[in-house]
């Protein structure tokens, strides 16, 4: 997802002389094209995230359009207070590209995993939070982010799965997307879980269960109308995300459902409130934490049958 | 630079007026940080009343010099300077530290009124300035970026990240000024995190350095006029100052980081100023 996003972004940035790209000494090969074509607008700040975020703010206060990249926890957690004061309070056009995210750094372990970013970034006033679900969404968000006013945190996992969309979707920041219409059951997904949920959905179809599949690439501002609409026509709502159970998309959806007096069944399928105690590659971790397509499928099936 | 006695007197008089005004608004609004504000008065007067290329009537001029008060807690000196320079009108200035007012105890960005960035959390200003200096170089502008830092603020590691980066990228359009009053929030700098040898530290990070008496206009102007101190190097002025400068019982006292004057102290201080 990361590569696709950066490729599209670079293509557009070549002719937009106002775009600056900063990195905290990370992104090997990722920015070669940008560096080659826009050398005066590329800065490796060094391993110094706090400085990078404030420099981005300084550039933006001088009317530049700034993108910052690092592995997500270093980018937004090491430099959280800089993000809060310099970027969000000033409400600047700075886009934070968080690499890795979720468990996608697998074997690199806890320091590189990002399971709290939605909760943390959502809490910041002025911040828009986005997690593209597939390559089509990633490309479109790369494009739309350029003229989008104010700060955005964009979650970019390493892996890039094939698109779940049969035709080109009409992606718009702030709007959810119904990928597939079904009945009674709705799977609301974000980021990497769009793909895993799509496979789970295909398995459910074989059991004559046909859920609706929704992609929420914009976690904040959340498409409340879409959630409310779904709540009126679906008896079961599952939210599936590669994020802690606390404070992610599931929490946001639950708040809307509660306020709109939803009478159906609601369940979050997400990571536990724990740092990873397993060692392994991403698919292994997905399996251990119940986020593999197979485990998502079984969880949904089991939940429906035992209702 | 040779300033005539008459010219010097002019700046000294402005500084005197600003100190009185700071005392006044601190007393009236029961605001703190009077000591931190008194230590930077001459620096602000030198910048705003002579050195900075700034026009309150054209605050959005793209090539204006930019100033960031990284030690945002010294805002009463900053606001008063901006008011005397003509960035604020009386009514706006009078909204300082009041319910439903205009100005709080740390500056919020308001470019039209001369406030380039919101500060208050320490260790942000220098990096913000680095970003502005980079943009300025890219734009091929001749503007300079001035950042006023507290000495205690240098405890923040982010400053040292910015110091290394600025030297690496030869940001000779960046000017840091350290208000070296040697007292920080809970004690003397030498007892908390000793900064000595401060000038040598910056030198060894490849900055051009000048150490001055931060209350002496001749020395301040002299340093400002010599920027860039060294070719292709960012600039720092280590300004040796006195916390609470101007009022004998406030000078060099940690207490005046926090205390606002009572009736008697106010009258006594006013006499001295």
Q: Which residues of A touch B136 (CB under 8 A)?
A: 62
For residue A172, tell me if it sits in a domain.
Answer: no
Does residue B106 carry a pLDDT above 70? yes
pLDDT of residue A307: 74
Does residue A36 carry a pLDDT above 70? yes
pLDDT of residue A159: 82
A19 touches B at CB < 8 Å = no
* Cβ <8 Å between A62 and B162: no
Mutate to test the interface with B, among A17, A40, A60, A61 (most CBs of B within 10 A): A61
User: What would the mean pLDDT of B257-262 be, rounded to a whole number?
Assistant: 90
* Cβ <8 Å between A46 and B165: yes
Of residues B124, B129, B136, nearest to A85 (C-beta): B124
> Which residue of chain B has the CA closest to A79?
B158
Range of the domain at A200: 177-305
Band (A306; pLDDT cuts 50, 70, 90): confident
pTM as predicted: 0.96
Helix axes A193-206, A293-305, angle to 10 degrees: 50
- Shared domain for A219 and A143, answered yes or no, is no
- Shared domain for A189 and A147, answered yes or no, is no
User: What would the mean pLDDT of B259-272 be, rounded to a whole number?
Assistant: 94
For residue A47, tell me if it sits in a domain.
Answer: yes
Range of the domain at B183: 5-272
Q: Which residues of A touch B161 (CB under 8 A)?
A: 46, 48, 50-51
A45 touches B at CB < 8 Å = yes
| Residues A153-170: tens digit of each pLDDT | 999 998 877 899 988 899
Provide the shortest C-alpha distance from residue B8 to chain A (in Å). Answer: 35
Q: Of how many residues is chain A composed?
A: 307
- Shared domain for A187 and A279, answered yes or no, is yes
| Residues B214-236: tens digit of each pLDDT | 999 999 999 999 999 999 999 99
Q: Which CATH number belongs to the domain containing residue B70 in this structure? A: 3.40.50.970
Q: Which of B74, B70, B34 is nearest to B253 (CA)?
A: B34
Q: Mean of the per-residue pLDDT values for chain B?
A: 96
Q: Which helix (H) or strand (E) holds A33?
A: helix A32-37
**How far apart are the C-alpha atoms of A55 and A21, rounded to whole Å?**
11
A64 touches B at CB < 8 Å = yes
Per the structure, the count of domains in chain B is 1
A127, A156, A185 — which closes off a domain?
Answer: A156
Band (A302; pLDDT cuts 50, 70, 90): very high
A213 touches B at CB < 8 Å = no
User: What would the mean pLDDT of A188-209 be, rounded to a whole number?
Assistant: 97
pLDDT of residue B136: 98
Of residues A51, A61, A89, nearest to B161 (C-beta): A51
Q: Which residues of B touch A87 (CB under 8 A)?
A: none
- Shared domain for A80 and A139, answered yes or no, is yes
Neighbours of A39 (CB within 10 A): 9
| Burial of B186 from C-beta contacts in 10 A (0-12 / 13-18 / 19+) | exposed
- Shared domain for A99 and A199, answered yes or no, is no
* Cβ <8 Å between B162 and A55: yes
- Distances in whole angstroms, Cα of residue A280 to Cα of each of A39, A110, A193, A289, B12: 38, 11, 19, 12, 69
| Residues B4-40: tens digit of each pLDDT | 899 999 999 999 999 999 999 999 999 999 999 999 9
pLDDT of residue B1: 59
**How far apart are the C-alpha atoms of B204 and B168, rounded to whole Å?**
12
pLDDT of residue B257: 85
The token duo for B255 is: 């207490």
Cβ–Cβ < 8 Å for B250, B25? no
Band (A87; pLDDT cuts 50, 70, 90): very high
For residue A168, tell me if it sits in a domain.
Answer: no
* Cβ <8 Å between A43 and B134: yes
Q: Which CATH number belongs to the domain containing residue A33 in this structure? A: 3.40.50.970
Decide: helix, strand or coil at residue B184. strand
Per the structure, the count of domains in chain A is 2
Provide the shortest C-alpha distance from residue B184 to chain A (in Å). Answer: 21
Does residue A244 carry a pLDDT above 70? yes
The token duo for B225 is: 């006029």
pLDDT of residue A160: 78
Provide the shortest C-alpha distance from residue B127 to chain A (in Å). Answer: 5
pLDDT of residue B44: 98
> Which residue of chain B has the CA closest to A81?
B121
């Amino acid at each position: 997802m990361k590569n696709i996003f950066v490729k599209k972004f670079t293509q557009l940035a070549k002719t937009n002389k106002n775009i600056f790209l900063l990195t905290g000494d990370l992104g090997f090969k990722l920015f070669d094209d940008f560096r080659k074509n826009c050398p005066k607008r590329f800065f490796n700040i060094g391993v110094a995230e706090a400085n990078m975020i404030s420099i981005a703010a300084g550039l933006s206060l001088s009317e530049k359009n700034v993108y910052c990249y690092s592995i997500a926890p270093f980018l937004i957690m090491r430099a959280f207070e800089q993000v809060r004061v310099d970027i969000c309070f000033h409400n600047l056009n700075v886009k934070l590209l968080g690499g890795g995210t979720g468990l996608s750094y697998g074997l690199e372990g806890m320091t590189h995993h990002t399971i709290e970013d939605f909760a943390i970034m959502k809490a910041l006033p002025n911040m828009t939070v986005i997690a593209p679900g597939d390559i089509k969404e990633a490309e479109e968000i790369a494009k739309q982010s350029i003229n989008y006013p104010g700060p955005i945190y964009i979650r970019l996992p390493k892996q890039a799965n094939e698109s779940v969309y049969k035709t080109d979707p009409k992606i718009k920041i702030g709007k959810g997307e119904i990928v597939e219409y079904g009945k009674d059951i709705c799977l609301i997904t974000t980021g990497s879980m769009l793909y895993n949920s799509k496979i789970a959905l295909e398995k459910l179809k074989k059991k004559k269960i046909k859920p609706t599949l929704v992609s929420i690439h914009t976690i904040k501002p959340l498409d409340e109308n879409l959630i409310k609409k779904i709540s009126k026509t679906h008896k079961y709502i599952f939210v599936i995300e590669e994020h802690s159970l606390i404070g992610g998309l599931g929490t946001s959806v639950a708040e809307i459902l509660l306020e709109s007096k939803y009478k159906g069944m609601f369940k979050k399928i997400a990571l536990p409130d724990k740092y990873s105690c397993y060692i392994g590659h991403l698919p292994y971790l997905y399996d251990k934490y119940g986020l593999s397509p197979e485990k998502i499928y079984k969880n949904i099936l089991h939940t429906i049958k035992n209702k | 630079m040779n300033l005539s006695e008459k010219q010097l007197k002019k700046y000294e008089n402005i500084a005197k007026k600003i100190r009185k005004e700071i005392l006044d608004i601190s007393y009236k609004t029961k605001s703190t940080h009077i000591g931190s504000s008194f230590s930077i008065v001459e620096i602000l007067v030198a910048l705003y009343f002579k050195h900075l290329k700034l026009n309150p009537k054209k605050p959005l001029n793209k090539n204006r010099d930019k100033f960031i008060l990284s030690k945002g807690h010294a805002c009463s000196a900053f606001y008063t300077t901006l008011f005397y320079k003509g960035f604020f009108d009386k009514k706006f200035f009078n909204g300082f530290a009041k319910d439903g007012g205009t100005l709080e105890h740390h500056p919020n960005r308001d470019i039209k009124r001369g406030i380039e960035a919101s500060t208050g959390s320490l260790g942000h200003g220098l990096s913000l300035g680095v970003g502005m200096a980079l943009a300025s170089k890219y734009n091929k502008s001749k503007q300079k970026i001035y950042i006023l830092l507290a000495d205690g603020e240098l405890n923040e590691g982010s400053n040292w990240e910015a110091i290394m980066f600025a030297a690496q990228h030869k940001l000779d359009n960046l000017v840091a000024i350290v208000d070296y009053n040697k007292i920080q929030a809970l004690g003397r700098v030498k007892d908390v995190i000793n900064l000595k040898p401060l000038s040598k530290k910056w030198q060894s990070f490849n900055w051009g350095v000048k150490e001055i008496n931060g209350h002496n206009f001749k020395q301040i102007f002299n340093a400002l006029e010599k920027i860039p101190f060294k070719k292709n190097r960012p600039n720092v002025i280590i300004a040796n100052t006195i916390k609470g400068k101007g009022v004998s019982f406030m000078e060099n006292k940690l207490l005046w980081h926090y205390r606002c004057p009572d009736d008697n102290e106010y009258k006594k201080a006013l006499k001295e100023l």
